Chains A and B, each alone.
Chain A
Amino acid sequence: MPSSFSDETQLSNIERERRRYRRRQTQGSVLVSLASTLVFAGLVALVLSRSPGWERVRQTFFSSHYFGLSFLPVLRGIANNVKILAFATVGVAILGTLIAAIRTTRSAVLFPLRALAAVYTDFMRGVPIMVLLFIVGFGVPGLGLTKGRISEILLGTIVITMAYSAYVAEVLRAGIQSVHPSQRAAARSLGLSYNQTLRLVILPQAIRRVIPPLMNDFVSMQKDVGLVSVLGVVDAVRAAQIETAHSFNFTSYVVAALLFVALSWPFIWLTDAYARRRRQREESAGVV
């Protein structure tokens, strides 16, 4: 029996040979993927530089002069995106959970509420966000319910919340239904109430299972916040548009694109890290 499995001199010949084989396999795979990446990058560079319009495209989209000029305005614009995103995230979390909870009830008394929630999710997922923005963004102020002007940022936040709470509710509902009914029975047997069972036992398991699709929705919501520019909010997209109107140069859009990517990067990274951690935890149970 070897005292340590990391000290190869102590291992049996068979295990040493197995490890040599695995190492060779790994090295081979790394080489293949490295080579294919280099070839692909080379091809792209070749096609771009050989195309007749490349010089003009480079100046209109990737000009360092206009990059510097438009960076600050676009950055100020994206601050508005972040603001809307933050409030909409809270709104979506609350409304989405509420709708999912309503849709997973069974009692006959709650049927009208359940039907309402079903219609809501179907409707909100069917209507393009742009159309919703026009209807709410121009319709609600038109009602004249408030004395002052309703800020476009608030209207945009409401629309994004409405649309995405429907998506998130469906994801959460799938998660809730994936938790085995025996978990509910066990929780109720302990004397926990319906709400306690949902909050302490069902939702934590459900959310864990649907974190990847939830994160997906979050990143996509982040991009759709850019649509509120149609209401006149000076967000990153609108700011880039304004810059372009001054300079007839499209570099500001590239700035906006980069800033959007930078904004979503931490969340994408977080999702991947979470998925990796889960995989590792699950893999510790075996090799397959």
Chain B
Amino acid sequence: MLNAAQEVQKTGEVSAEPAPGFDRGSIPVLSLRNIHKAFGDNVVLRGIDLDVSLHEVVCLIGASGSGKSTLMRSINLLEQIDDGQIFLDGDDISDPRIDADKVRARIGVVFQHYNLFPHMSVLDNVTLASRKVLHIDRNTAEDKGRVMLRRIGIDDKADCFPDQLSGGQAQRVAIARALVTNPKLLLLDEITSALDPQLVGEVLDLVAELKREGTTIVMATHEMTFARHIADTVVYLESGRIAEAGPPQQVFETPVYEGTKRFLSRVLDWVS
């Protein structure tokens, strides 16, 4: 369902089209080339290269401060990178001549602390981007929004305000809000780490369903069990570099890099 809508959006897009005969299907949804980023003297990203293909789910793991959030914020152009290139569907979005607002509309983001807009109802939160960025009229946008809320199982809360929701419900609304514009790519930054253990499940179930529907996802997470189940690729970040990457079985069971082993033994011990 989601993918049909994505196709529609793709044809309606105004961004630069590739040369005729060029097959969009074969290029990655997201390509990171040699990404560098520093905050003052603190060098956070030291040359990240990563390809994310259509329908792929990539889980970023790594110690606190290893740069997971910074990488996601850079992909979404909330941070300006210091070197390297970011390609979204083949378009170089690190080019300063590109319209950053249009790029952000093609990427859905969910943050750790939901960041719902407290002065808007749940439905208004979900439909805001449709109405103001895609310029869809209110009725159509609300119909779409209600469909989305039904999918995440909280259509009865459409007229509530965010402070009347539980943490799990708020986070699911945040996901719905990010999805309603049919983004090419969904970035999830530790979306369960602010939740009570029993609420984590309901949010992760939703992510698993998104994967089944073919959404392309990059997520930072501390939920190793979940990463192992859902990820197509697990990427271990250490001091601003990709220290190890591969399918979950490989990274979790037979890691080659010493740092990965140490990190995993630390977090897995801590979990059990």
A interface list, Cβ under 8 A from B: 182-183, 185-193, 196, 200-201, 204-205, 208, 285
B272 shortest CB reach to chain A, Å: 33
B134 shortest CB reach to chain A, Å: 8
B interface list, Cβ under 8 A from A: 73, 76, 78, 101-102, 104-109, 111, 113, 115-119, 128-129, 132-133, 163, 177-178, 181
Whole-angstrom CA separation of A191 from B133 in the bound complex: 6
B113 touches A182 (CB 8 A): yes
- Which residues on the A side are within 8 Å of B107 (C-beta)? 189
Whole-angstrom CA separation of A201 from B232 in the bound complex: 36
B118 touches A205 (CB 8 A): yes
A266 shortest CB reach to chain B, Å: 25
A189 touches B109 (CB 8 A): yes
A155 shortest CB reach to chain B, Å: 38
B113 touches A190 (CB 8 A): no
Other A-B contacts than A189-B108, A190-B177, A285-B163, 12 sampled, CB-CB below 8 A, are A185-B115, A188-B101, A188-B104, A189-B107, A189-B109, A189-B178, A190-B105, A190-B178, A191-B181, A196-B133, A200-B132, A208-B119
B104 touches A191 (CB 8 A): yes
A191 touches B102 (CB 8 A): yes
A190 touches B111 (CB 8 A): no
List the B residue with the shortest CB-CB distance to A205.
B119
Partner of A200 from B73, B111, B128, B163 at Cβ < 8 Å: B128
A196 shortest CB reach to chain B, Å: 6
Instruction: Identify which of A191, A192, A196, A285 gathers the most chain B CB atoms within 10 Å of its CB.
Output: A191
A183 touches B113 (CB 8 A): no
B136 shortest CB reach to chain A, Å: 13
Whole-angstrom CA separation of A224 from B104 in the bound complex: 47
Whole-angstrom CA separation of A187 from B111 in the bound complex: 12
B105 touches A191 (CB 8 A): yes
A-B residue pairs, 4 tightest by C-beta: A191-B105, A186-B115, A190-B129, A189-B109
- Which residues on the A side are within 8 Å of B78 (C-beta)? 185, 188-189
